Amino acid sequence: MQKKYFLPRYVSLLLICCSLLIFAVLFFPFWHIELQAPQYPEGLILLIYANKLSGDVDIINGLNHYIGMKTLHTADFYEFQVLPYCIIFFAVAFIIVAIVRKRKWLNILFAVFIFFGVISMIDFWKWNYNYGHHLNPNAPIIVPGMAYQPPILGYKQLLNFGAYSMPDVGGWIFISVGIILLGLVLISNRKNKPS
């Protein structure tokens, strides 16, 4: 019978740090879309939090009516109800793994975390697609091809607006936590292979 293997202490410590970071995501925007146009030298910004849309939502909605895009309202997105719980779930899960200190648990946590990230991005893309492909045909300005999908990452130009979509503080925290987690998984699976 092989002696029970526990992950090193520093792994627990890092996992607890990650948990705190994830918890902080509740209070920072996850993602943002910056809009720039000649008439908006100061720029407009759409901030996506775990539980709400913020920034210049009203101004952006006012402009969207020209191309017939549906207006954005926090209440229209069920995600904003669910996301805070997902974040709390991860914050707690990281702590549990830090306490249990099992490699298997760490691997599962990593898998779930990555799965969550991928699903989130797909969901985000899907929303962008829906908003961008359901333009009101009676709108004053008919967008060529009747489709304008905002980018989920990076830059895209539409008429006089340039849209720049990037992770915000919360997003970067998630990415950093993912990288740390990946590192921990790699290290613990290589160094301490059960013989």
- In this chain, which of 16, 24, 59, 180 binds another protein, going by CB under 8 A? 59
- Residue 79: which residues within 8 A CB-CB, separation 6 or more? 123
Residue 140 within binding range of another protein, rule CB under 8 A? yes
Please, which residue, 113 or 161, has the CB nearer to another protein?
A: 161
Q: From 59-67, 83-91, 107-115, 175-183, give the range in contact with another protein by CB under 8 A.
A: 59-67
Tokens of 183: 């590192």
Please, which residue, 56 or 79, has the CB nearer to another protein?
A: 56
Q: How distant, in Å, are the alpha carbons of 32, 34, 44, 152 from that of 77?
A: 16, 20, 21, 17
Q: From 20-28, 56-64, 86-94, 174-182, give the range in contact with another protein by CB under 8 A.
A: 56-64
Residue 62 within binding range of another protein, rule CB under 8 A? yes
Q: How distant, in Å, are the alpha carbons of 73, 87, 170 from that of 48?
A: 11, 14, 9
Residue 105's closest CA among 93, 87, 116? 93
- In this chain, which of 27, 58, 85, 153 binds another protein, going by CB under 8 A? 58
Please, which residue, 65 or 102, has the CB nearer to another protein?
A: 65
Q: Provide the phi-psi class of 184: left if phi over 0, else alpha when psi is between -120 and 50, else beta.
A: alpha
Task: Kindly list the residues in this chain that would bind another protein in the complex (CB under 8 A).
Answer: 58-59, 62, 66, 140-141
